[in-house]
Structure 1
Amino acid sequence: MNALAFHLIAAWLAFAWHGTPEVRASNILAFLPTETHSHFNGFKPLLRELVKRGHNLTLVSPFSLGNDLLYTHIEVEKHYLEKKINHMDRSRLLNKLPVVVYVLWLGPKITKIALDRNAVKNFIRNDGSSFDLVLFENFFTESCVTIGHKYGAPVVQLLPFNTNPRVSQWHGNPYNPAYIPEFTSNFPTGMSFVQRLGNTALAFFSTCMYRLVSIPQHRAIMDSYFDYPGHEGRPDLTDMLRNVSLTVYMSNPVLGTVSPTVPNFIPMAGTHTTPAKQLPQDLKEIVDGAKNGVVFFSMGSVIQASKMPNETVSLLLSELGKIKQTVLWKWEDDSIPDLPKNVIVRKWFPQNDVLGHPNCRLFITHGGIHSMIETIYHGVPVLCLSVFGDQAQNCIQAKSKGFAEYIPFFELTSKAFGDNLRSLLDDSRYKVNAQKSSAILKDNPISLMDNVVFWIEYVIRHKGAHHLKTAANDIYWFQFLLLDVVAFVSLLSTVFVYISFKCFRCTFRKCLKRKNNKISSEKKVQ
């Protein structure tokens, strides 16, 4: 039984046998000060649901939950850093270095930028509220776990990606590189020997260098920014990470690698999916009137298609102009290139509603987890053009499920794009596999949102739910890897082999001596 099934069935049984558990209105802090809009959009439905269920939520973030809910918003100043970065620039250092390398300094940098905002500094130093639970996003921002110590509350960490060695090591969560690809490895689930060798090296590098490089930086950040009454007696950063009560991670077995997890690791990808609503009238007329269907093209909320190199834009438009379908392209700039007759560009489209329209034939996307889960939910095939981060891994997994094709953005060619585009539109197997994956995603004993909320409230009810933690939290790394057992067995084996060798040699010498004596005696008789 996989981890998702276990958590869903456990939650369902709780509802079935006892009804909805009694939950009082709890005071919850959501500490999300980083300016990562795409991540916030993934967590936003969960935060809204907690408010709808009567909890008193305090949100520390540059982004809001909307004006229709009653909650406290500590608004963090925006610097619009995401829009200033051109992810399409091949010469950028981040596009040249492996992800596992640049996150060693990117994580601390993101954390510093977020914590250095006046609203955040003032909140950490002066807020005197009391909370029953603290949520924080761990986007390589481990020092933010310290906010839980300030309030003496159980901590839930929200991961905007799948489980990985970096996080798993603090919780004894299984992470076997023999069959679980490191999320930055770009390896498929069924790895060859060479890939397993590389995956093992990546997992080892990620774990060790994280401890040696990132953790010292986060300790310094913690000491600089988390200056509140009582901070002098707080535990070490690694101890606070081990004390996290619940990890809610952005993945789902329908897309990510199926792997075992400890009971306090809960998947949440899919909680933001909703049935499609009716399109705005002008867009509805376009989509309804597309005789051969529509192709939707969007690179998400962070990557701006309008910043693509001119030659890439020309390449894409040339191939898109050859198909019969109407193309809806999310284009963020006022400067619009010469477009084929079948291509329509706008600065924004209601993505969920377009994907959910029965006339949507194909989704061209960067491969972000939220976009991938939405297209799976609506059963639409995908052409992935991954740019950075975990996008490539999401695309590889989607291709392995049979409903996607994958081209790394910086390896894009007219032939590769055109061939894959036509294949996805002409081969019905992609649509069939997309619908199969959609059926799997939707087939749960309770909704994915109810499952996540159940376990968050479970942590509140049981004051941190420390009984969910494994004994792996209390042993050294060499004990977790059984290196002490291996060393002991190796020592015993060595001693046994040594004693056996000595006995054999002694016996052999005695036999040889006896034989020599016998030969000598026979010679004397002669």
Structure 2
Amino acid sequence: MKLTPLLLLILVGVFNNAPRTQGAKILTTLGFPGRSQYIFVETYLKELAARGHQVTVISPFKEKPVQNIRFITAPKIHEYSDKMLKIYKASGFWARHKAFSWTFSLVSECILSDEGVQKLIHSGETFDLFLAEMVQTESLFGLAQHFNATLMGFSSYGNDYVIDELMGNISPLSYNPHITSPRSNIMTFYERLLNRWEIWTEKIVYYIVHTPVMEEQYAKYFPNAKKTLSEVMDSFELILLGQHFTLSYARPYLPNMIEVGGIHISHKPIPIPEDIKQFIETSREGVIYFSLGSNVKSKDLPEETRNTLLKVFGGLKQRVLWKFENDQLPNKPSNVLISKWFPQPNILAHPNVKLFISHGGLLSTIESVYFGKPILGLPVFYDQFMNVKRATEMGFCLGLDLQNLQQSELEQSIHTLLTTPSYAKAAALISERYKDQPEAALDRAIWWTEYVIRHKGTPHMRATSRDLSFVQLHGLDTLAVLLGVPLVTILLLVKLAYWLLCITFGSKHKRFDKQKRN
């Protein structure tokens, strides 16, 4: 089509009126030592850098140089990786959440005490925006006030009651399960009771065990802080949530809570290495992809569990890609290909891959759904149990207990998922719904980030609920008046009636006695 001068003039006018954001200085930290947390924001941060923003990333991992991105590596947390994975297996809700608190406190300490981070803190630099990962590393959020930066959050695991309370979002616990529970939004009475009990228990751990440690760290590393830690926690302007309602369930959100589930999925896939590509494409019966993510290592599985997997995989008609962290896997069947790394999204995108055996991490679940693949979930910790439960109820997943994996159950589950069309159809349907969006998740995340930068915060999006006490927020004071006044009035009327009756019948009784004596 030939562009006329008038049309060119209109187009120039449109582009000139489009919001433009000057290059900003952005600082971000990862609050969890897992590689998947960086994968969630990697594409997003690179896109911000490509748009001219100067991005500084504090991470436990050493990264390749990227234009406009400065990496500060704080690797000390890796020294505790094995210990952290062990304590996650602690029995009992209270013990597990004390373990979570210890982990997040340790992460914060390792980052804030790092030599490179300390150098940055004392550099005199300022930043326009601080991006904080929404896990319980609250002392890290103090970097926002230290660098005089607007505070914005991102959550790779989606949303939970902690973020709701932080942003003032009203979202009932009656259908919002605790993020570490094996429950979905549809709960029985007992599950709702258990859900509330676990959240109350976690809050007790948070206030008694976790908060004092965070406040101590905050005072230690920010002795001249302009704000208290509670004031910092109240200063979040906007949060990016790594979920989407088509992948979970419908629930309320405030306008400064933005769903960006799938932000990490690149629309420019990298080529699959030739040996892996040949392995996939020459398999007549299709391929199964098996990965336990970046935090759980297949090499560390109990020998009994590993042998069960080997027996089942060896008896399949399909070939298996197994993300395995050692160079050798004893007794590996010929139909199994191991590697320390696979380009997971590109593997799942291949039409000859029929099933994903996964730990049930949210990022992996989203990738599987995006490419329309059913899942066999083997959850290990944190949100994975809930993700597998939700996916099972949505019809594209089956779940098993990795700690007590039985050969017959594993064989049956794989057979069911491969031969029952409803699982693949459910995955394809949800994939279609997810992709039907007005813009890509990455574009949405970038737009809202630059919106925060352009307006130097979003006070106009702040919910009044954040400024109300618990009693005011839930209307307990007004409810007391509305219920109390009528109740007091009724009691007074009853008392008055009783008093009148006493006077009336008392007078008659006195007259009767007087007449009787006469």
1:140 aligns to 2:133 (yes or no): no
Q: Which position in structure 1 is the counterpart of 2:397? A: 404
**Alignment partners' CA distance in 2, 1:79 and 1:204:** 29
| Distance (Å, rounded) in 2 between the aligned partners of 1:113 and 1:470 | 34
Q: CA deviation at 1:149?
A: 0.7
Q: Does 1:102 align with 2:99?
A: yes
How far 1:362 sits from its partner (Å)? 0.2
Larger displacement relative to structure 2 (142-151 or 315-324):
315-324
2:157 is matched with: 161
1: CA distance between counterparts of 2:198 and 2:215? 24
Give the corresponding residue for 2:243: 251
Q: What is residue 433 of structure 1 aligned with on the other side?
A: 426
* Residue 343 (structure 1) aligned to one of 333, 336, 339: 336
1:94 to partner: Cα distance: 3.7
Q: Residue 489 of structure 1: CA displacement?
A: 3.3
Look up the equivalent residue of 1:120 and give its one-letter code. Answer: V
| 8 Å Cα contact 1:33/1:120 also seen in 2 | no
Q: Tell me how far 1:198 sits from its aligned partner.
A: 1.1
State how far apart, in whole Å, the 2-side matches of 1:424 and 1:49 are: 37
Amino acid at match of 1:45: T
Taking structure 1 as reference, are residues 117 and 35 closer, same or farther at Cα in structure 2, changes over 3 Å only?
farther
Contact 2:52 2:68 in 1 (8 A): no
2:260 aligned residue (255, 268, 271): 268
Structure-to-structure mapping, 1:69-108, within 5 angstroms: 69-78=67-76, 80-81=78-79, 84-85=82-83, 87=85, 92=87, 94-98=89-93, 99-108=96-105
User: Matched residues in 2 for 1:492 and 1:104: separation?
Assistant: 45
Does structure 1 residue 332 correspond to structure 2 residue 325? Answer: yes
Report whether the alignment pairs 1:179 with 2:179: no
Residues 104 and 75 (structure 1), Cα distance of their counterparts in 2 relative to 1, 3 Å cut: closer
- How far 1:17 moved relative to its partner? 11
Q: How does 1:502-517 map to 2 (within 5 A)?
A: 502-506=495-499, 509=502
Matches within 5 A, 1:357-506: 357-506=350-499
Aligned to 1:303: 296
> Which has the higher mean CA deviation after the structures are superposed, 348-357 or 378-387?
348-357
The letter of the residue matching 1:192 is T
**Alpha-carbon separation, structure 2, partners of 1:82 and 1:346:** 24
Q: Secondary structure at the match of 1:328?
A: strand
Report SS of the residue matched to 1:72.
strand
Instruction: Map residues 283-298 of structure 1 onto 2, 5 A cutoff.
Output: 283-298=276-291
Deviation at 1:65, TM superposition (A): 5.5
SS in 1 for 2:236: coil
Q: Compute the displacement of 1:123 (Å).
A: 1.7
Q: Which amino acid aligns with 1:80?
A: H
For 1:225 and 1:411, locate their aligned partners in 2 and report how far apart those are by CA, in whole Å: 44
Q: After superposition, where does 1:107-118 map in structure 2 within 5 Å?
A: 107-118=104-115
Query: CA distance change for structure 1 residues 102 and 441 in 2, over 3 Å: closer, same or farther?
Result: same
What is the TM-score of this pair, normalised by structure 2? 0.89
Q: Which amino acid aligns with 1:321?
A: G
Is the aligned partner of 1:197 residue 2:189? no
> Are residue 54 (structure 1) and residue 46 (structure 2) matched?
no
Q: Does 1:220 align with 2:221?
A: no
Counterpart-to-counterpart distance in 2, 1:162 and 1:508: 65
Give distance in 1, aligned partners of 2:504 and 2:392: 68
C-alpha separation in 2, matches of 1:104 and 1:286:
43
Letter in 2 for 1:425: L
Mapped partners of 1:497, 1:418: distance in 2? 69
Q: Which segment drifts farther, 356-365 or 310-319? A: 310-319
> Cα distance, 1:86 vs. partner?
7.9
Shift of 1:24: 1.2
Unpaired segments of 5 or more residues in structure 2?
1-13
Task: Name the CA distance, whole Å, in 2 between partners of 1:161 and 1:180.
Answer: 14
Q: Which of 206, 210, 217 is 1:210 aligned to?
A: 206
Q: Secondary structure at the match of 2:207?
A: helix
Shift of 1:499: 1.6
- Of residues 105, 108, 123, the one that matches 1:127 is 123
TM-superposed deviation, 1:183? 0.9
Which is worse superposed, 461-470 or 277-286?
A: 277-286
C-alpha deviation, 1:33, in angstroms: 6.8
Cα gap change, 1:481/1:201 in structure 2, threshold over 3 Å: closer, same or farther?
Answer: farther
Higher relative contact order (CA 8 A, sep 6+): 1
Q: Which residue of 2 aligns with 1:238?
A: 230
Identity of aligned residues (%): 29
2:398 aligned partner, one-letter code: E
Q: Which residue of 1 aligns with 2:11?
A: none
Q: Unaligned regions of 5+ residues in structure 1, if any?
A: 1-15
Q: Which residue of 2 aligns with 1:170?
A: 166
- Name the amino acid aligned to 1:185: S
Q: Please tell me whether the aligned partners of residues 32 and 104 of structure 2 are also in contact (alpha carbons under 8 angstroms).
A: no
* Two-structure CA RMSD over aligned residues (Å): 2.6
Equivalenced residues, count: 499
- Counterpart Cα distance in 2 of 1:332 and 1:82: 18
- From 37, 62, 65, the counterpart of 1:39: 37
Alignment deviations for residues 133-179 of structure 1 (CA, whole Å, 9 cap, x no partner): 11122321011111111122211122232222223222211231111
Evaluate the alpha carbon distance shift between residue 460 and residue 489 of structure 1 in structure 2; reply closer, same or farther with a 3 A threshold.
same
Distance in 2 between residues matched to 1:174 and 1:330, nearest whole Å? 41
Structure 1 stretches of 4+ moved >4 Å: 16-19, 507-518
Task: Quote the offset at 1:347 in angstroms.
Answer: 2.0
How many Å separate the matches in 2 of 1:403 and 1:20? Answer: 41
Q: Describe the shift of the 1:78–1:221 C-alpha distance in structure 2 as closer, same or farther (beyond 3 A).
A: closer
